[in-house]
Structure 1
Amino acid sequence: MNLKLHPEHLQIINNHAESTYPEECCGIMLGHMAEDSKTLITVIPTENAWNQEAVNFTVEAQSTKRRYAIAPAFMLQMQREARNRNLSIIGIYHSHPDHPAIPSEWDRLYAWPEYSYIIVSVENGKAGKLQSWSLDENHQFQLETIEHINLTILS
């Protein structure tokens, strides 16, 4: 799979990741899906709504430093907005503070097959390596190619 985006989108993600450090940031990506690629049109930073008490899982104590969640009501709002703009939610991004831009097992278990998942590593408050991932037919993450495109193509 190929994820097409403008460098400005990466800057928005990196700025969000740096501004929330040492917490994980998260956000929604709206765009167009094709058979072999996705084109990112809009990046929407969101609040990290992770709340251990609201989760029905038995896991070691975690916080927004190691987990992220997008509020379900906000996700529904973004689905409506995307539909009204003839777009789709094509993915989610989040940061890994002081960890590599590689999906965790938690990321894999709660990922949706259609989406791209951009992960940016933030080391000591500075955004570093950024990678995009998508699930294959065996629910395993595979690295996606990121293709930089011109803004006029997105119009």
Structure 2
Amino acid sequence: MIRLSQEHLQTIRTHAESTYPDECCGIILGYVDTEGKIVVEVMPTENAWNTEAAAEFPGKRTAESKRRQYAIAPEVMLRTQREGRDRSLNIIGIFHSHPDHPAIPSECDRLYAWQGYSYIIVSVQNGKAGELESWSLDDHHQFQAEAIENII
């Protein structure tokens, strides 16, 4: 289970709408306790997908594919990890949008996902954020739906 506030959800939705028709992305900071993953901060990031990022992935991926791909710059991940550690927080997940597609992970999402992270996906239909779902990998590297609990 992942627990986050209405404000966190709104930040994700607003970022997704602002980047449409491209995918948005961002980092989820928090901690894990007996209640599950507790979100403390949602950090929108730039979609750094470009020719260089595409070169790291197999297949026909182009710089123009920000509408179907996202990347968070490694230096942003590292900086966020360090800043989080200074606040006793960890990166516990990633969020991104699926423009004009359902909030269901793609095969590419699965291939490059990390065990232990939550992956929140928001569907953006015609520029308006809609369905929002969370996913995590099981022991067989397959996505399983993860419950979202709204906290105040």
Counterpart mapping for 1:33-72 below 5 A? 33-34=32-33, 37-54=36-53, 55-62=55-62, 63-72=65-74
Matched, 1:78 2:77: no
Deviation at 1:40, TM superposition (A): 0.4
Deviation at 1:53, TM superposition (A): 3.8
Counterpart mapping for 1:27-38 below 5 A? 27-34=26-33, 37-38=36-37
Deviation at 1:35, TM superposition (A): 5.1
- In structure 2, list runs of 5 or more residues that go unmatched: none
Query: Which residue does 1:153 correspond to in 2?
Result: none
Deviation at 1:58, TM superposition (A): 3.4
| Alignment partners' CA distance in 1, 2:34 and 2:107 | 27
Query: Which residue does 1:108 correspond to in 2?
Result: 110
Deviation at 1:51, TM superposition (A): 1.2
TM-score by length of 2: 0.94
- In structure 1, list runs of 5 or more residues that go unmatched: 151-155
CA RMSD of aligned residues (A): 1.1
| Alignment partners' CA distance in 1, 2:31 and 2:79 | 18
Number of corresponding residues: 149
Deviation at 1:59, TM superposition (A): 1.7
Deviates more, 1:28-37 or 1:73-82: 28-37
Q: Which runs of 4+ in 1 moved over 3 A?
A: none
